[in-house]
Amino acid sequence: MKKTKIDGPINLYRLRHSFVTLALLSGADAKSVSRAAGHASVAFTLDTYQHVLPAMRKDVADRIGCLLFGSVRE
């Protein structure tokens, strides 16, 4: 965590939280991330980590834009 500059106490909960957040942001599918985290459902994972959803929505919109119209400029 020090090497990646993640602030706060170093404990298993923070490592797990960081893993799920980064996995979702990297584009990993939510079901696989949910299973890896040991969550009871994908809905729980998405509800708990909803703070990363806006970035995911933008990424999806950009990808669809690229498919439909070629490269999208910001």
Domain boundaries, the chain: 12-69
Give the Cα-Cα-Cα angle 9, 23, 28 (nearest 5 degrees). Answer: 170
What pLDDT, on the 0 to 100 scale, is given for residue 72?
56
Gap between the Cα atoms of 9 and 5, Å rounded: 12
The pLDDT tens digits of the residues spanning 6-16 come to 777 878 888 88
Sign of CA dihedral 61, 22, 31, 52: negative
The pLDDT tens digits of the residues spanning 18-60 come to 899 889 888 899 999 999 999 999 999 988 988 777 767 777 7
All residues at 6 or more sequence positions from 8 whose CB lies less than 8 Å from its CB, including other chains: 1, 14
What pLDDT, on the 0 to 100 scale, is given for residue 63?
81
